[in-house]
Amino acid sequence: MLPSLAAWMQGLSPELGFLRVFQYLTFRAVMAAMTALVIGIAAGPWVIRRLTELKIGQPVRGYAMQTHLVKNGTPTMGGVLILIAITVSTLLWGQLGNRFLWIVMVVTLGFGAIGWADDWRKVVRKDPEGMRSRDKYLWQSVIGLFAAVFLVFSISATSNTNGFELLFAWIRSGFTTELPHTGLLVPFFKEVSYPLGVFGFIVLSYLVIVGSSNAVNLTDGLDGLAIMPVIMVGSALGVFAYVTGNAVYARYLLFPHIPGTGELLVYCSAMAGAGLAFLWFNAHPAQVFMGDVGALALGGALGTVAVIVREEIVLAIMGGIFVVEALSVMLQVGWFKYTRRRYGEGRRLLKMAPLHHHFEKSGWAETQVVVRFWIITMLLCLIGLSSLKLR
């Protein structure tokens, strides 16, 4: 919004040439982060107060850690604060004609709506389990598939063609036309890409978007545990977006050049600023919890950005904490069901899942788990960023 307004004002008067700074992507990214941070910190106390007045408190499951029982009743659904800060900041500093900006926002708000419904059931119906998993995955799948189909043609669009023209051309060809930028890039290797085709791209994108959403949600179990890795991974993905969207840098670093992706740097910066503002209130002992409304939305956003910049494998590296947390739950549940069928009683691989609870059961303090997971994520993000040059 502001870049367009500044360009319009420049056209009215040459004396307003200093407004050119609003067209610089890096400037707008910095301002997006600052704006989201200020909005989050300023609105945080009011949001927490309103959640408390509405009695929107986090119910603690009966089988939860004993040390977590004191958290019962802490305001939840604080992810609303993050979504407000991201949305307002992105609308202010982003180029609103950018197709990638809108699809990421649609996924973010769509998954946020699913999380809202889930949290609302937990709070209003006093059901600690919330929305049924089947219903949650259904709506996640609807949004994930929509985004995947949109992106396979949108990413392949050029200055001479748009996504709809590519879609119609693909249909007329009998679904055989190969589209550019639909391969799976392998980091640390020069121009190594496995062709996926349109259907393969859609399946992979769906799995990345929905999988990332649920992985972040599973990680969100301790004060500040999920939000800082989201900030770090999102910021790193913003760097990849900037490189992919810049023809010179993309050519020099042997990355695919996808026009328009650079604008995602504004979104990733807004996400980082909003995340830091939320961490101000979510640091131990937390005044508010993110809830599914924030975790599902942020995870879906990370997955969507990674798909757009063609860095799905790098996302798995940098978001290794999310991946391991999700795997720990799947392995725990799978092993329990298998041993119950095999031996008549369920057995566990971990003391408790997700993984962060296993370390708590092993004697780590909550703050130790959180900070050590942050350190691991920082290391993984540096490894991921090194793939920019180590190829």
pLDDT at 17: 67
Q: How confident is the model at residue 59 (pLDDT cuts 50, 70, 90)?
A: low
Q: How confident is the model at residue 30 (pLDDT cuts 50, 70, 90)?
A: very high
pLDDT at 99: 93
Would residue 24 count as lying in a domain? yes
Would residue 250 count as lying in a domain? yes
Would residue 361 count as lying in a domain? no
Would residue 188 count as lying in a domain? yes
Q: How confident is the model at residue 68 (pLDDT cuts 50, 70, 90)?
A: low
Cis, bond preceding 180 (omega within 30 deg of 0): no
User: What is the residue-averaged pLDDT of the chain?
Assistant: 90
Which residues are CB-contacts of 255 (< 8 A; sequence separation ≥ 6)?
A: 240, 243, 244, 249
Each residue of 263-287: pLDDT tens digit?
A: 999 999 999 999 999 999 999 999 9
Would residue 343 count as lying in a domain? no
Q: How confident is the model at residue 245 (pLDDT cuts 50, 70, 90)?
A: very high
pLDDT at 2: 83
Report the domain count for the chain.
1
Of 20-24, 125-129, 144-148, 228-232, minimum mean pLDDT range: 125-129
- Parent domain of 210: 2-310
Each residue of 203-220: pLDDT tens digit?
A: 999 999 999 999 999 999
Q: How confident is the model at residue 158 (pLDDT cuts 50, 70, 90)?
A: low
For the chain, how far is it from start to end, CA to CA, in angstroms? 38
- What proportions of the chain, in percent to the nearest 5, are helix, strand and coil? 70, 0, 30
Give the range with max mean pLDDT: 146-155, 251-260, 316-325. Answer: 316-325
Which residues are CB-contacts of 3 (< 8 A; sequence separation ≥ 6)?
A: 22, 23, 28, 93, 94, 95
Would residue 7 count as lying in a domain? yes
CB-count burial class (<10 Å; 0-12, 13-18, 19+) for 244:
buried
Which residues are CB-contacts of 172 (< 8 A; sequence separation ≥ 6)?
A: none
Q: How confident is the model at residue 187 (pLDDT cuts 50, 70, 90)?
A: very high
Would residue 377 count as lying in a domain? no
Compute the Cα dihedral for 300, 61, 290, 219 and give only its sign: negative
Which residues are CB-contacts of 288 (< 8 A; sequence separation ≥ 6)?
A: 44, 47, 48, 51, 74, 75, 76, 78, 81, 278, 281, 282
Would residue 279 count as lying in a domain? yes
Q: How far apart are CA 255 and CA 265, in angstroms?
A: 16
Q: How far apart are CA 320 and CA 387, in angstroms?
A: 15
Q: How far apart are CA 187 and CA 388, in angstroms?
A: 8
CA Rg value for the chain = 22
Q: Can you list the pairs that 334-338 forms with residues at least 24 positions away whose Cβ atoms lie under 8 Å?
A: none
DSSP code, position 195: -
In degrees, rounded to 5, the angle at the alpha carbon of residue 271 between the alpha carbons of residues 265 and 275 is 145
